[in-house]
Amino acid sequence: MIISVVNQKGGTGKTTVATNLAVAFASKKRDVLLVDADPQQSSLDWQRDRPEDLPHVSVIGLPYSNLSKEISRLKAKYDLILVDGGGRITANARAAVAVADFIVVPTLASKPDAMSTHSFFNEVVEEVAAMKGKVKGAVLFTMIKSGTLFNIAGQEQIKEFGFPVFDSLIYNRITYQEAISQGKSAAEFAPKSKAAQEIKSLFKELSSSL
Ligand SMILES: Nc1ncnc2c1ncn2[C@@H]1O[C@H](COP(=O)(O)OP(=O)(O)OP(=O)(O)O)[C@@H](O)[C@H]1O
Ligand SMILES: [Mg+2]
């Protein structure tokens, strides 16, 4: 099973979601590989900071040009491969979508973000679907500001794309930033935090969608 966390728009929470999901799958004793397909290598940085006493998560960097070839080889070795899709370059995002059995598309809910996510669906997801058939996955709203009315217009716009949307939501929380800077998941950094709960809910919903 290959899950790509991908959106062409930068800074939507791809690495945060990918690292948290990798730990969630690893703690269920799944043999997980996190593939960092982003030249910025943020997932690799996260793993370098990861304390040794925590469950091991293998992370490798793979340039997008090798993704499809290398993944078919790695698929035999791991129960689950998560791809941190990076991908401001269209070819990079396409490669991450093309190798996936399921895509998680983190997006902010503002109007400009909804527009960029829309282009990602038009230019990347539709193109891949035209070649290999229906792309399975769901959009994930991230970095929602609590205390404000969740951006209804942006949210509605994204729902109109006709692609599934996770019920689970990821709020803007400092816990995510603290955790990633220490090579941890939110649950490892602060087990009782709201961020830990959000990831748990996402993990459950994702697992039942696969
Ligand atoms: N839910 C959240 N709450 C607060 N901060 C967040 C959250 N998700 C991500 N961040 C912060 O926002 C920034 C961008 O997040 P992240 O690196 O996960 O996004 P990305 O989509 O991987 O970015 P890039 O396109 O640069 O790879 C980081 O500083 C991260 O710590
Ligand atoms: Mg990233």
Query: In sequence order, what DSSP letters do the residues of the chain get, joined into one string?
Result: -EEEE--SSTTSSHHHHHHHHHHHHHHTT--EEEEE-STT-HHHHHHHTS-TTSPP-EEEE--HHHHHHHHHHHTTT-SEEEEE---SSHHHHHHHHHT-SEEEEEE--SHHHHHHHHHHIIIIIHHHHHHHSPPPEEEEE-SBPTTS---HHHHHHHHTTSS-B-S---B--HHHHHHHHTT--HHHH-TTSHHHHHHHHHHHHHHHH-
pLDDT exceeding 70 applies to what percent of the chain? 96
Confidence check: pLDDT of 25 > 90: yes
d(CA 96, CA 85): 6
Q: How many domains does the chain have?
A: 1
Q: What is the pLDDT of residue 150?
A: 59
Is the model more confident about 148 or about 81? 81
Q: Which of 103, 40, 31, 37 is nearest to 71 (CA)?
A: 37
Q: How far is ligand 2, taken at its centre, from the CA of residue 6, in Å?
A: 9
Q: How far apart are CA 66 and CA 76, in angstroms?
A: 17
Q: Is the pLDDT of residue 106 over 90?
A: yes
Of the candidates 8, 13, 15, which has an alpha carbon nearest to the alpha carbon of residue 183?
A: 15
Ligand 1 neighbourhood includes 176 CB (under 6 angstroms) = yes
Q: Which atom of ligand 1 is nearest to the CA of 10?
A: 25
Question: For the domain that residue 38 is a member of, what is the CATH number?
Answer: 3.40.50.300
Cβ–Cβ contacts within 10 Å for residue 112, how many? 10
Model pLDDT, residue 27: 92
State in Å: Cα 93 to ligand 2 middle. 12
Q: What is the pLDDT of residues 31-59, one digit of tens each?
A: 999 999 998 999 999 999 999 999 999 99
- Residue 40 Cβ contacting ligand 1 at under 6 Å: yes
Residue nearest to atom 27 of ligand 1 (CA): 86
**pLDDT, position 148:** 62
- pTM as predicted: 0.97
Instruction: Tell me the CA–centroid distance for residue 60 and ligand 2, in Å.
Output: 14
Question: Which ligand 1 atom minimizes the distance to the CA of 172?
Answer: 3
Pocket test for ligand 1, best of 9, 173, 176, 199 (most atoms within 8 A of CB): 176
User: Is the distance from CB of 125 to CB of 91 less than 8 angstroms?
Assistant: no
| Per-residue model confidence as pLDDT tens digits over 176-189 | 999 999 999 999 99
Q: Whole-angstrom Cα distance, residue 189 to residue 176? A: 9
Atom of ligand 1 nearest to the CA of 9: 25
Separation between Cα atoms, residue 72 and residue 76, nearest integer Å? 7
Q: Which domain holds residue 73?
A: 2-209
| Structure tokens belonging to residue 147 | 């205390």
Considering every ligand atom shown, identify the ligand nearest to the alpha carbon of residue 145 and give its number. Answer: 1
- From the CA of 174, which ligand is nearest? 1
**pLDDT of res. 88:** 81
Distance of CA 130 to the CA centre of its chain: 23
